[in-house]
Amino acid sequence: MPDTLRIVNGRVYDPANGIDGEVRDICISDGRIVASLPQDAPRLDVNGMAILPGGVDIHCHIAGAKVNLARKLQPEDHRRDPHPSTAVTRSGTGGIVPSTFATGYRYAALGYTTAMEAAVPPLAARHVLEELHDTPVIDKGFYVLLANNVFLHRLLREGRREEFRNAVAWWINAAKAYAVKLVNPGADELWKGQRNTNISSIDQTGTGIDLTPRQIIRSFIDVVEELGLPHPVHIHCNNLGHSGNWQTTLETMRTAGESRLHMAHIQFHSYGGEPGKNPTSKGPEIAEYINTHPNITTDVGQVMFGKATAMTADAPLGYMLRNISHNKWINADVECESGCGIVPFTYQEKVYVHALQWAIGLELFLLSKDPWRIMLSTDHPNGGSFLKYPRLIRLLMDRDFRNEEIQKVNPRAIKKTVLLDNLDRQYTLNEIAIITRAAPARALGLKHKGHLGAGADADITIYEENADKERMFNAPRYVIKDGRMIIADYEFRTDHEGRLLHVAPAYDAAIEQKLHPFFDDYYSIEFANYPVADSYLHHHEIVPPVKAAV
């Protein structure tokens, strides 16, 4: 593969630069996209094909302790789906939670070149970094879980605001994380302290920590803004999966005011009805709020029928799902900083709740007025595998196909939605390029990704155009990562190590004097051994702070 390449005759979909299907050249030099190349530079003729930036998955679960527990929990799933080696790639196992090698190659084979692991307790950061190092081709990073951190709760409770900011920054550095993740804020300690309990309102008191979830959420939004992190607070709201949780979701978004906030897997938080009873859809109401509040971004967390695995730091949610599935499961404590629940799960077309979840996801996509703020995800593997993305894209782009699929699912559920109320929208290829590439890159603050302008990373996917969009997006003909031809004519041509993306916000080192005794008293690990050493970083990039763009 030469260092330079001119890709000619393809139709370019680069929404970040306002290019929608124009035939134009894309030039690559030294791993970046450049404005031009000498005429005698090597050429790749992609006549009749679509050129898109490499896909960016803003929310998935692909590495670390919980992912590995899910792998170990399901050997029967792996044996059905071996991932053989090739002359240039390594072997692995597939299934709903693929091994590290298989994860990287399968993302690449879908045209994705960046993926973000969405929930990592700091104690598991080493494990995550080791696994991400073993996840080939793609660039990757992770979000660190801080909303159920006992020490941070203490600082908030005691009004030690400055120390709180420094401690948050210290923890991000200690873990080598990319962003701050909040999961069911305040609930894990309640779950650990009182049998089978959860938080049901973001203004709930008596949670045992003398803080309401709203106080926790607002504090983190402010601190992340002050630190200038490229990605805003990434929140998994309280009450996930419970009927009537849409009010909690709305209140969480209102808590942000005009500050940026990323709502994770919003589909799981858009349910009407009464707690304990069957949910109804509040997709239109949630979509309307998002449409009118430009500070909010979200990924959908679409449910796709078939096998899934719930894996979450939301320990009480894991317990709830276990009571539904009656399947094998894992529930774990992560010392002073998080919880964990893992439950193998299967979504079925004929089951009312599953069909409703599927339909609400589609409602959210189709009612969204700004594709730059609603992104494609299945919360892999919670709503389904990332390998279902092509099918989801076809559901969005092909109204007839969607209507055929709607006829196959539980009709009672569909009647609770607006899917059959003249919701005829079909996503264009340009809009798909936004929700799978440009928008997640922008929301993450990755200026060199999600577009094909000069200076961007040469992460490029080239698809053969096909009326069947599922088939089209299932197998790109070419995938270029950092300027290297990874896949050509549908075959892997070389292996590649992607970069770890992380941030390093500044903090006052005096906070370590406050942290040290807490670790001595409450942690199983010595304070000096807790922060992840730089030797775990390998090929990495520190993304600089930015001023939050509201």
Binding site for another protein (CB under 8 A): 73-77, 79
Residue whose C-alpha is closest to residue 332's, from 309, 315, 317 = 315
CA dihedral 255, 261, 266, 272 (to 10 degrees): 10
Q: Strand (E) positions, 133-256?
A: 139-145, 179-183, 234-236
Q: In the bound complex, what is the minimum distance in angstroms from residue 98's beta carbon to another protein?
A: 15
Task: Report in angstroms how near the CB of residue 72 gets to another protein at its nearest.
Answer: 9
- The CB-of-318 to another protein minimum distance in angstroms stands at 19
Three-state SS sequence of 265-280: CHHHHCEECCCCCCCE
Closest CA to 152 of 195, 198, 185: 185
Q: Closest CB to another protein among 42 and 75?
A: 75
- Closer to another protein by Cβ: residue 85 or 529: 85
**For another protein, which is the closer residue by CB, 79 or 538?**
79
| Cα dihedral 20, 24, 25, 26 in deg (nearest 10) | -10
The contacts of residue 253 (CB under 8 Å, 6+ apart) are 261, 263, 289, 290, 293, 296
- Of 77 and 314, CB closest to another protein: 77
Strand partners, 346: 307
Q: Which is nearer to another protein, 85 or 407 (CB)?
A: 85
Integer Cα distance of 53 and 457 in angstroms: 9
Query: How many C-beta atoms lie closer than 10 Å to residue 520's C-beta?
Result: 10
309 neighbors 343 (Cβ within 8 angstroms): yes
User: Least distance (Å) from another protein to the CB of residue 76?
Assistant: 4
Q: How far is the CB of 77 from another protein (least distance, A)?
A: 7
Q: Which is nearer to another protein, 89 or 204 (CB)?
A: 89
Measured from the CB of residue 102, what is the shortest distance to another protein in angstroms? 17
Q: Is 328 or 350 the residue whose CB approaches another protein more closely? A: 328
Cis peptide bond N-terminal to 381, omega within 30: yes
Host H or E run for residue 31: none
Q: Are 108 and 137 in contact (CB under 8 A)?
A: yes
């993740």: which residue's tokens?
Answer: 181
Of 326 and 547, which has the nearer Cβ to another protein?
326
Q: Smallest distance from the beta carbon of 523 to another protein, in angstroms? A: 33
Cα separation, 114 vs 240, in Å, equals: 26
Strands 484-488, 296-299: pairing kind = unpaired
Pick the closer one to another protein by CB: 76 or 489. 76
- φ and ψ of 75, to 5 deg: -60, -30
In the complex with another protein, the residue whose CB is nearer, 2 or 75, is 75
